[in-house]
């Protein structure tokens, strides 16, 4: 699901000879050159996550072998392990995640592929065994969850289709968001992809989506759809007008699909997906989309006769010149705080970003005049009720209270301070700047992403830790630690292993600064070995060091690596 583009440029820092590394921050598409995009696409593969089914992979039974197809009911269950691992997940959310990440296990050919002529599509739709598998799944055992996705589509599809029309893209391509996120703007994968189009932060940055502590534009349905449209257009042009390859590359990365084409000497998606090179998730990504599109365009045919589509997304937009409390905006509009948050999913906290002037705030349709009439009469200092303050050496509650003209007791109550005399340097305090404050900021110090759970794998006959580590692009040491295996190499068929790292706890915890490390190549080293040792991708190493695909490492060579502290395997 994840789009990962990373541009890392060596720059001379303050005249020093030691290069620093800069994440190329591109906020407008116009500033992106063809060369920069090419470098980004080449780097994207290294950070693309492996396929990530949240459900155990199911071995086909004798009936499957005989028929050549895996019945959908074998692979779908409403028993969602996410709830056990994270009690805060609702049943609905857990079912969404499980269906989004379901990856069936079958390597046989897809059977006869035929063009679907039953309904008018503006995207090339075909049917075969792989597509029909997901049609059966979505309209069968998983129909309750898929019905929810269809109903949610009513809220987002009109604006997504309108945006795609501006880029001359097939309007049916908007349904790709359905299999990315189930049309959920708060969706957040363990690989750190977010929003309805599931952008990784680095890719989103290339396509103009800003992310910081206050907001995440990957969650904005309009901005993210514009980014997805530009991204899909680039993929379509790169693959010379082949939409199947473009859609597959949205999932796996342009470089991965291009290498599959070269490896199998074919540009036929169905042909290159028969081999073992592509991840299972990528092999089934296009069939999932075709199945979802087929049902969505004619739901009655597949038994969805009682759909209650959500109302289309409609709103007014006003520009607020300074930081504005969302509770204040809700009061002025006469609606709930939750309604303002629902219209502005990119806002992660309780107010518009303090550093952004003239932020575009969405309000309920027809409420902008009433809002502005009252808002403009409110002094600037009172438009934001709260200030986020990071404690530094020398801070005391009394000093902070005097500096901002507030009461010590208010700071204590708002932040639930247990010992007013012992403030921890680096901790965050919320300061109430006007009367009538609530505990809302404290409630929203942690973000509200809906995270997917860690992936598991069911051990098969003949599996080893080495084979499983290669399959999921992790190290054997990581598998031992995650599964508490110690130094045992004993695996049992049917045993379940955790094969992915835990998702980030919050946006703050995932933004550690990378440090430059120079590694001297030793005899027998390969890029894959080095990557596993430091938990980075081989493609990243190649791009950091300008290496060709067929580069041969020699003992004594120096490689530059960008390592996040604590991430080495």
Catalytic residue numbers?
180
CA distance 326 to 328: 5
Q: Check residue 171 and report its DSSP letter.
A: G
CA distance 428 to 438: 17
Neighbours of 550 (CB within 10 A): 5
CA distance 68 to 109: 8
| Distances 2 to 120, 211, 237 between C-alpha atoms, Å | 29, 16, 20
Q: How many alpha carbons lie under 13 Å from residue 497 in its C-beta half-sphere? A: 28
Return the exposure string of 105-137: e unless at least 16 CB atoms fall within 10 Å of the residue's CB, then b.
bbeeebbeeeeeeeeebebebbbbbbbbbbbbb
Q: How far apart are the first and last CA of the chain?
A: 24
Backbone angles phi, psi at 348, to 5 degrees: -90, -15
CA distance 268 to 261: 8
CA distance 77 to 95: 9
Cα 205–Cα 209–Cα 214 angle in degrees, nearest 5: 110
- Please provide the DSSP assignment of 46-103 as one string: HHPPPP--SSPPPPP-HHHHHHSS--HHHH--S--HHHHH-TTS-HHHHHHHHHHT--
| Distances 32 to 40, 226, 230 between C-alpha atoms, Å | 10, 15, 12
* Counts for the chain of helices (H) and strands (E), in that order: 24, 16
Neighbours of 39 (CB within 10 A): 18
Give me the helix-helix angle, 221-238 and 34-47, nearest 10°.
100
């Amino acid at each position: 699901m994840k789009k990962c583009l990373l541009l890392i440029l060596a720059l001379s820092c303050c005249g020093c000879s030691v290069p620093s590394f800069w994440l190329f921050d591109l906020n407008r598409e116009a500033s992106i050159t063809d060369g920069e995009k090419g470098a980004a696409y080449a780097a994207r593969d290294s950070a693309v996550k492996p396929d990530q089914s949240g459900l155990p992979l199911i071995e086909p039974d004798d009936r499957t072998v005989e028929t050549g197809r895996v019945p959908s009911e074998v692979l779908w269950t409403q028993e969602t392990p996410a709830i056990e691992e994270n009690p805060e997940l609702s049943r609905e959310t857990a079912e969404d995640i499980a269906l989004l990440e379901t990856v069936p296990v079958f390597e046989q050919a897809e059977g006869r592929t035929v063009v679907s002529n039953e309904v008018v599509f503006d995207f090339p739709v075909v049917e075969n065994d792989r597509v029909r598998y997901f049609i059966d799944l979505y309209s069968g055992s998983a129909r309750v969850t898929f019905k929810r996705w269809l109903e949610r589509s009513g809220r987002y599809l009109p604006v997504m289709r309108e945006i795609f029309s501006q880029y001359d893209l097939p309007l049916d391509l908007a349904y790709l968001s359905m299999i990315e996120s189930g049309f959920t703007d708060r969706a957040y994968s363990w690989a750190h992809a977010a929003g309805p189009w599931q952008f990784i932060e680095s890719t989103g940055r290339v396509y103009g989506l800003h992310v910081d502590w206050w907001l995440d534009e990957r969650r904005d349905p309009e901005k993210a759809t514009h980014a997805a449209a530009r991204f899909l257009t680039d993929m379509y042009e790169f693959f010379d007008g082949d939409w199947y390859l473009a859609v597959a590359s949205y999932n796996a990365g342009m470089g991965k699909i291009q290498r599959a084409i070269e490896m199998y000497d074919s540009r036929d998606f169905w042909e290159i997906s028969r081999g073992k090179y592509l991840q299972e998730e990528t092999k089934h990504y296009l069939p999932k989309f075709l199945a979802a599109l087929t049902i969505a365009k004619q739901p009655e045919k597949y038994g969805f006769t009682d759909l209650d589509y959500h109302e289309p997304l409609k709103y007014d937009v006003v520009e607020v010149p300074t930081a504005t409390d969302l509770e204040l905006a809700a009061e002025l509009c006469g609606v709930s705080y939750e309604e303002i948050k629902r219209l502005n999913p990119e806002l992660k906290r309780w107010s518009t970003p303090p550093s952004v002037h003239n932020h575009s705030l969405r309000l309920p349709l027809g409420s902008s005049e009433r809002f502005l009439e009252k808002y403009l009469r409110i002094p600037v200092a009172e438009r934001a009720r709260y200030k986020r303050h990071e404690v530094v050496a020398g801070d005391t509650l009394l000093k902070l209270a005097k500096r901002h003209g507030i009461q010590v007791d208010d700071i204590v109550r708002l932040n639930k301070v247990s010992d007013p005399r012992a403030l921890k340097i680096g901790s965050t305090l919320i300061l109430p700047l006007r009367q009538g404050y609530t505990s809302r900021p404290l409630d929203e110090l942690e973000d509200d992403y809906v995270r997917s759970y860690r992936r598991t794998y069911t051990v098969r006959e003949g599996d080893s830790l080495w084979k499983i580590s290669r399959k999921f692009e992790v190290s054997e040491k990581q598998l031992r630690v995650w599964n508490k295996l110690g130094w045992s190499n004993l695996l049992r068929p049917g045993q379940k292993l955790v094969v992915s790292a835990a998702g980030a706890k919050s946006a703050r915890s995932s933004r550690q600064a990378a440090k430059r490390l120079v590694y001297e190549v030793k005899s027998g080293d390969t890029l894959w070995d080095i990557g596993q040792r430091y938990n980075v991708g081989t493609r990243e190493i190649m791009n950091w060091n300008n290496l060709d695909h067929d580069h041969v490492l020699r003992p004594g060579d120096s490689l530059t690596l960008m390592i996040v502290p604590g991430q080495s395997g």
